[in-house]
A and B are shown apart, each in its own frame.
Chain A
């Protein structure tokens, strides 16, 4: 009996600790073990979530990038600017151009005499022409405008200077080059002081613009800017059928943002009056483009598009979630005996529930994290190579990980409940 007593010392009854309960670390280990037991299946199950999350992240990121790019381009145009274009206001289709009265210098004068709180009006007259320097030649856009163009459009000079009011008055043969056009015609060399030919006319380059980015009417970076008088009278056919000097559009910069609606309304009224149109605007043959409201609606469109893309990507996440549920159901069936064993040796049904929930969540979280990494690759490459600025936002990462965790919870709970509700006796006998 002494030996018995000695040996029993080794396996004393367990002193139950107050905080007796299952350690999460153990559950996590059990889940990882079972996931590692079938690596291919685990990977294929995660693949659904990976693809879902990767597409959510990349589409949201690219969508945001596109939205930002568009916003930036329009902001570069000056958000306080109003642009008056010929043609009927856009009501669902492209602006009508056929058979409408062109804008003329008379309209510009009409605006000038209103004495509105604006900079401008700046008349713009654009035409295509052959632009050539000693080394290069291309077809490009020539913008005839006034000296005020620089201030209204917040133009910064890279070198030289913009043409003056005097140049405009005297229709001087001078030209200011957009940055891309300058690079095309002169490379990295000095352009100011050189001359280029527009169609067959020689013009002296007096300035080069800083790169500015695009706008809906084509980027100023690709344009050659000349005094409007030169463009209308000598470079191109600038007279309308009634003999007036045509302009393509007119820009005004409203000094105070709050005045934009008032200025817009005054412009419309004055032009209707001058052009003998109905005061209520029913037969307008011009339109006023409000940069700010255009930007707002454009932003709405792009964010709607981003949301839509993310929703489509979300569907694949849903499919991934169903994949998790499917595999978890299979896993519960396969491991019925293991569940029976664990129940028999003392696991409560909640322990089993937790084990399978954690397994589903580990699957979905690993899938989610991998998906974020995979989904970030394309935006990061595009950003680094400066093809397209699409920085991965924290929000898209947080949203994706939250959604994938929720997917694991949602699609894991049913299989886990099945497992937890198994009768231990029947589970142990399961073949």
Chain B
């Protein structure tokens, strides 16, 4: 079985004036379809850079990145946009909802860029909002929703287009601990019941603990890559 994500010898070098910053120094990771992975690491570890690479928002200086059979490393800007639209669902720390749009319109928005017809968009958005428990808030605008509810809408937006991978960047960073737990349980549930491949990026160990596998990054390389044992005990 081919992996959903294959990263081999990935490096990223930023040139800042006369300095060269080696954000990634040869990362090797393989993620299978249906996995729930947390990428951990302190700030400056390169985890954000890795997330941008996985999210097809940036291309590596060297190395290989294959996402769902697509070799991403060599794609141009427009091709990357298409890959993002079709293969990835993003969840951001600050929810990033359009303030004047309803929950439904927010969830529909990414599908607009794929040319999915309006009726199909609406159907998918409704199903996705239902899945995250927001089925009764379709017409609410972000300012009428709590932080947790907004993040649920954001998760629905990420999964409505049936992406290969959902990529969540500090998804609980703006939430209190109770709400954080709810969000993480929702992601967990989506992973287990829908078989969604989910990658979260976090610096908090107790958030990473919800994942089945934790990849720790430090100084641009993978420090640990291990199954979440505590988790497997629960199963």
A: residues with CB less than 8 A from B are 3-4, 7-8, 10-14, 16-17, 19-23, 26, 33, 37, 337-338, 341-351, 424-425, 428
B115 in contact with A21 (CB, 8 Å): yes
* Number of B residues with CB within 8 Å of any CB on chain A: 40
Given the complex of chains A and B, what is the CA–CA distance between A188 and B32 in angstroms? 102
User: Interface code B77-89, partner A: CB below 8 Å = 1, 0 otherwise?
Assistant: 1100110111000
Say yes or no: A344 contacts B162, CB within 8 Å: no
Whether A346 pairs with B113 at a CB distance below 8 angstroms is yes
| A338-B98, A425-B52 known; A347 vs B113 contact (CB < 8 Å) | yes
Report whether B113 and A425 are in contact in the complex, using a CB–CB cutoff of 8 Å: no
Given contacts A11-B160, A12-B162, contact A342 B100 (CB under 8 A): no
The answer to whether A20 touches B114, judged by C-beta atoms less than 8 angstroms apart, is yes
List of B residues within 8 angstroms of A344 by Cβ: 55, 57, 84, 90
Task: Tell me whether B109 is interfacial, beta carbon within 8 Å.
Answer: yes
Beta-carbon contacts under 8 Å, B182-203 to A:
192-195
Known: A14-B116, A22-B112. A348 touches B81 (CB 8 A): yes
A345 to B87 Cα, complex, angstroms: 10
A22 in contact with B113 (CB, 8 Å) = yes
Number of A-B contacts (CB under 8 A): 97
List residues of chain A with CB within 8 A of the CB of B159.
11
In whole Å, how far is A67's beta carbon from the nearest beta carbon of chain B? Answer: 49
Task: Return 24 A-B CB contacts under 8 Å, by A number.
Answer: A4-B192, A4-B193, A4-B194, A7-B131, A11-B127, A11-B131, A14-B114, A17-B116, A19-B115, A20-B114, A20-B115, A33-B100, A342-B109, A344-B84, A345-B109, A345-B113, A346-B82, A346-B110, A348-B82, A348-B113, A349-B78, A351-B113, A424-B57, A425-B58
**Residues A23 and B98 in contact, CB atoms below 8 Å apart:** no
B106 CB to nearest chain A CB (Å)? 10
- Shortest Cβ distance from A351 into chain B, in angstroms? 6
Q: How far is the CA of A341 from the CA of B55 in the complex (A)?
A: 12
Check A13–B92 contact: CB distance below 8 A. no
List residues of chain A with CB within 8 A of the CB of B110: 345-346
Q: Which of B84, B92, B120 is the one whose CB lies under 8 Å from A428?
A: B92
Flag whether B47 is at the interface (Cβ < 8 A). Answer: no
Inter-chain contacts of A12 with B (CB < 8 A): 162
Chain A neighbourhood of B57, CB < 8 A: 343-344, 424-425
Residues of A within 8 A of B58 (CB): 425
Chain B residues near A347: list those with CB within 8 A.
81, 85, 113
Cα–Cα, bound, A33→B101 (Å): 9
Residue of B nearest to A337 (CB): B96
Q: Are B113 and A342 in contact (CB under 8 A)?
A: yes
* B128 contacts the other chain (CB 8 A): yes
4 smallest A-B Cβ distances: which pairs?
A346-B85, A20-B115, A345-B110, A348-B81
Partner of A348, one of B78, B131, B161, B192: B78
| B residues 10-25 touching A (CB-CB < 8 Å) | none
Q: Closest residue to A426 on the B side, CB-wise? A: B57
Whether A7 contacts B112 by the Cβ 8 Å rule is no
Q: In the complex, A338 Cα to B161 Cα: how many Å?
A: 19
Q: Is there a chain A Cβ closer than 8 Å to B124's Cβ?
A: yes
A296 nearest CB across to chain B (Å): 59
Q: How far is the CA of A274 from the CA of B203 in the complex (A)?
A: 113
Determine if A23 and B78 form an interchain contact, defined as CB atoms under 8 angstroms apart: no
B194, chain A: closest CB distance, angstroms: 6
Distance, CA A54 to CA B139, complexed state (A): 40
A17 touches B113 (CB 8 A): no
- Per-residue CB proximity of B96-126 to A under 8 Å, as 1/0? 1010110000000111111111001000100
> In the complex, which residues of chain A have a beta carbon less than 8 angstroms from the beta carbon of B85?
345-347
The answer on a CB contact under 8 Å between A16 and B112 is no
Question: Are B77 and A26 touching (Cβ within 8 A)?
Answer: no
CA distance A428 to B159 in the complex (A): 19
A27: nearest chain-B partner, CB-CB? B112
| Inter-chain contacts of B127 with A (CB < 8 A) | 10-11
Establish whether residues A23 and B112, one from each chain, have CB atoms under 8 Å apart when the complex forms: yes
Question: Which residues of B, 159-218, contact A by the 8 Å Cβ criterion?
Answer: 159-162, 192-195
Q: Name the residue on A nearest B101 (C-beta).
A: A33
